[in-house]
Amino acid sequence: MVYLVIKELAGSADDVIMVTSSIMKDTSVGSDVVYRPNAIRALCRVIDASTVQAIERLVKTCIVDKNPSVASAALVSSYHLLPVAKDVVRRWQSEAAEAASGSKSGGGFFGGLGGGGSHTALQASTNYMTQYHAIGLLYQMRSGDRMSLVKMVQQYSAQGVVKSPAATVLLVRLAAKLAEEDPNLRKPMMQLLDGWLRHKSEMVNFEAAKAICDMRDVTDAELVQAVHVLQLFLTSPRAVTKFAALRILSQMASFKPDAVRSCNQDIESLITNSNRSIATFAITTLLKTGNESSVDRLMKQITGFMAEITDEFKVTIVEAVRTLALKFKAKQSGFLAFLSGILRDEGGYDFKRSVVEAIMDLIRFVPEAKEDALATLCEFIEDCEFTKLAVRILFVLGREGPSTPHPTKYIRYIYNRVVLENAIVRAAATSALAKFGVGQKDPEIKKSVHVLLTRCLDDVDDEVRDRAALNLSLMDQDDDLAISFIRNDSMFSLPVLEHQLALYVSSGSRDTFETAFDITQIPTVSREQADAADLTKKTEGVTPTLKAPSAAKAPSKAGADAAASGAAAAQKYAADLQKIPELAAHGGVLKSSDVIELTESETEYVVTAIKHIFKDHVVIQYDIKNTLPDTVLTDVEMVVTPEDDGDVQLEEEFIIPAPKLPTNEPGTVYVSFKRLETESQFIATTFTNMLKFTSKEIDPSTGEPEEGDGYPDEYQVEDLDLNGADYVVPAYAGSFDNIWEQANGDSATETLQLSNIKSISDATEQLTKTLSLQPLEGTDVALSASTHTLKLYGKTVTGGKVAAMVRMAFSAKTGVTMKIDVRSEE
Asked if residues 446 and 440 have their Cβ atoms less than 8 Å apart, the reply is: yes
pLDDT of residue 229: 93
Element (H, E) at 815: strand 815-824
Q: Is residue 316 part of a domain?
A: no
All residues at 6 or more sequence positions from 715 whose CB lies less than 8 Å from its CB, including other chains: 605, 690, 691, 693
Report the candidate in 248, 259, 283 with the shortest Cα–Cα distance to residue 269: 283
CA max distance for the chain: 100
Q: At what angle do helices 370-382 and 332-343 cross, to 10 degrees?
A: 0
Which phi and psi angles does 821 have, rounded to 5°?
Answer: -110, 125
Same domain? For 716 and 676 the reply is yes
| Long-range contact pairs involving 734-737 (C-beta distance under 8 Å, separation at least 24) | 734/364, 734/365, 734/366, 734/367, 735/367, 736/776, 736/777, 736/791, 736/793, 736/803
Query: Rounded to the nearest 5°, which phi and psi values hold at 634?
Result: -125, 160
- For residue 4, give the nearest of 23, 18, 17 by alpha carbon: 23
Q: Does 350 fall in a domain?
A: no
The three state secondary structure string of 749-762 is: EEEEEECCCCCHHH
Last residue of a domain, one of 722, 745, 767: 722
End-to-end CA distance of the chain: 81
Tell me, rounded to whole angstroms, the distance of Cα 91 from its chain centroid.
Answer: 39
> For residue 525, what are the β-bridge partners?
491
> Is residue 328 in some structural domain?
no
Q: Kindly report the CATH number assigned to the domain that includes residue 718.
A: 2.60.40.1480
| Backbone φ, ψ for residue 437 (5° rounding) | -100, -35
The pLDDT tens digits for 304-349 are 778 778 888 888 888 888 888 887 878 888 889 999 998 888 888 9
Q: Which of 760, 824, 752, 768 lies closest to 795, judged by CA?
A: 824
Q: Output the domain CATH number for residue 135.
A: 1.25.10.10
Q: Are residues 521 and 428 in the same domain?
A: no
- Tell me if 172 sits within 8 A of 207, measured CB to CB: yes
Side chain identity, residue 504: Y
> Residues 6 or more apart from 523 whose CB is under 8 A from it?
492, 493, 496, 571, 574, 575
Cβ-Cβ contacts under 8 Å for 738 (sequence gap 6 or more): none
Give yes or no: residues 685 and 802 share one domain. no
Report if residue 188 sits inside a domain.
Answer: no
CB 64 within 8 A of CB 100: no
Residues whose CB is less than 8 angstroms from the CB of residue 184 and which lie 6 or more positions away in sequence, other chains included: none
Tally of domains within the chain: 5
User: What is the CB neighbour count within 10 angstroms for residue 16?
Assistant: 18
Crossing angle between the packed helical segments 17-26 and 35-46, to the nearest 10 degrees = 160
Range of the domain at 508: 494-573
Q: Which residues contact 209 (CB under 8 A, 6 or more apart)?
A: 197, 226, 229, 230, 248
Helix (H) and strand (E) counts in the chain? 35, 18
Q: Distance between CA 740 and CA 750 in Å, rounded? A: 17
C-alpha closest to that of 258 among 288, 231, 232, 281: 288
Domain stop point among 433, 463, 488 = 488
- DSSP-derived secondary structure letter, 237: S
Residue 53 Cα distances to 3, 63, 163, 537, angstroms:
22, 15, 32, 53
Task: Dump the DSSP string for 239-278.
Answer: HHHHHHHHHHHHHHHTT-HHHHGGGHHHHHTTTT-SSHHH
Averages of pLDDT over runs of 10 residues in the chain (826 residues) are 57 55 62 71 73 80 85 86 83 87 57 41 55 90 86 88 90 92 88 92 93 86 90 92 92 84 88 86 85 78 80 86 82 88 88 93 87 92 90 92 88 90 91 85 86 91 92 79 71 79 82 83 72 67 40 40 55 82 87 89 89 91 89 91 75 90 90 79 87 86 74 91 88 79 81 84 86 83 82 86 90 87 84
Question: 604: which residues sit within 8 A by CB, 6+ positions away?
Answer: 626, 627, 628
Residues 683, 684, 686, 692, CA torsion sign? positive
Is 483 contained in some domain? yes
Same domain? For 119 and 31 the reply is yes
Residue 499 dihedral angles phi and psi, to the nearest 5°: -65, -45
| Residue 628, phi then psi, degrees to nearest 5 | -75, 130
Q: Are residues 654 and 680 in the same domain?
A: yes
Compute the residue count for the chain. 826
Neighbours of 83 (CB within 10 A): 10
Percentage helix, strand, coil, to 5, in the chain? 55, 15, 30
Is the domain of 732 the same as that of 746? yes
Q: Is residue 22 part of a domain?
A: yes
Is residue 272 included in any domain, yes or no? no
- In this prediction, residue 556 carries a pLDDT of 40
669 and 775: one domain?
no
Same domain, 778 and 803: yes
Classify the C-alpha dihedral 366-372-375-381 as positive or negative.
negative
Q: Quick check: 693 and 634 in contact, CB under 8 A?
A: yes
DSSP code for 477: S
- Judge whether 452 lies within some domain: yes
Closest CA relative to residue 660, chosen from 627, 695, 690: 695
Residue 624 β-bridge partners = 607, 667
pLDDT at position 657? 92
- CB count in 10 Å sphere of residue 473: 10
pLDDT at residue 548, as a whole number: 38
597 membership: H or E segment, kind and range = strand 596-597
- One domain for residues 700 and 624: yes
Contact 779, 789 (CB under 8 A): yes
Cβ proximity of 414 and 432 under 8 Å: yes
Statement to judge: residues 590 and 541 lie in one domain:
no
691-701 per-position pLDDT tens digit: 999 988 887 77
Angle ∠(675,678,679) on CA atoms, nearest 5: 140
CA-CA-CA-CA torsion sign (266, 268, 271, 272): negative
List, for residues 422-461, the tens digit of each pLDDT value.
Answer: 899 999 999 999 888 877 778 888 889 899 999 999 889 9
| 3-state secondary structure at position 820 | strand
Domain boundary among 722, 743, 777: 722
CB atoms within 10 A of CB 708: 8
Rounded Cα distance between 301 and 307, Å, is 11
pLDDT at 537: 67
Q: How far apart are CA 769 and CA 824, in angstroms?
A: 18
Same domain, 138 and 7: yes
- The radius of gyration computed from the CA coordinates of the chain, to the nearest angstrom, equals 33
Are 711 and 599 found together in one domain? yes
SS (H, E, C) 101-155: HCCCCCCCCCCCCCCHHHHHHHCCCCCCHHHHHHHHHHHHHHCCCHHHHHHHHHH
